Amino acid sequence: MKKLHVIIFCLLYAGLMFAQSALDIMQNSREKTKLSGFETISTLIIRDAKQRERVRKTAMASKAYPGNIEKRIIRFMEPADVKGMGMLIIDKDNIEDDMWVYIPANRQSRRIVSSEKSKSFMGSEFANADMTAPNLQDFNFELLGEEMISNQLCWKIEMRPINASKEDEYGYLRKISWINKSNNIMVKSDYYDFENELYKSLNVLKYHELDPVNHKFIITNMKIDNIRNGRSSDMVMDQVLFNPNVPEKYFTIAYLEKP
């Protein structure tokens, strides 16, 4: 009987360590892309099921603050019908993020509530939630093993929202992510709907070590495919500037609404 108890304890302990290591990997992956500050000019390409394209130009600035807070602003520059639209994000670790969207025709910013996080980001296949790092406390994690993705040896990790409310908030039942073992960068994520069917796949096509001193990276090219409707979207950073001294005024409602 004593031997049986020891075996059960060892199995439980091994399972706990395995689960904990999955969370550690996700935490390390998030840290790898936490930059003190940067600015970008990007191209957002939105394709419909017939591969017809709409192209958007955006400017983004991001800055890290004490207390594991990141502030980010995204403003649309062109074409004319989206110029002036924007989003302000206060990304907080283990606390619900704050997000506002501004559409010039409405003349004022509107706060994005949690139920809108799964909605489309400006008509693309990216979701509003994709513009922030997910709060890790909202998920349970399981390390499924290792796998090669685009000649990169990766950890394969499943993350599931902790309850039905969080499933609705994020818009999926589960997500499987592949994390590069050599640098902890996420290189692919597959999203499964509430029927447990694969419906979106995000692939990181290019990333860059923007802060070599601290070994911090930025994803500069990613594509998301919607398997259900045949649509896809690309986010490509055309210009990237490492800048820890991004002006504070950028991260305000007043600046978001500035013409």
> In this predicted structure, what is the pLDDT of residue 157?
98
Task: Give the range of the structural domain holding residue 108, as residue numbers without chain letter.
Answer: 2-256
0.75 surpassed by pTM: yes
* 171-175 long-range Cβ contacts below 8 angstroms, 24+ apart: 171/117, 171/118, 171/127, 171/129, 172/118, 172/199, 172/200
State the DSSP code for 118: T
The CATH number covering residue 191 comes to 2.50.20.10
Look at the chain and report how many structural domains it folds into: 1
Instruction: For tokens 């206060």, name the residue.
Output: 90
CB of 52 closer than 8 Å to CB of 32? no
Per-residue pLDDT tens listing for the chain (259 residues): 545 444 444 444 444 444 448 999 999 999 999 999 999 999 999 999 999 999 999 999 999 999 889 999 999 999 999 999 999 999 887 677 899 999 999 889 999 988 888 999 999 999 998 988 888 999 999 999 999 999 999 999 999 999 999 999 999 999 999 999 999 999 999 999 999 999 999 999 999 999 999 999 999 999 999 999 999 999 999 999 999 999 999 999 999 999 8
Spatial separation of the C-alpha atoms in residues 195 and 248, rounded to whole Å:
44
Alpha helix ranges (H) inside 33-171: 164-170
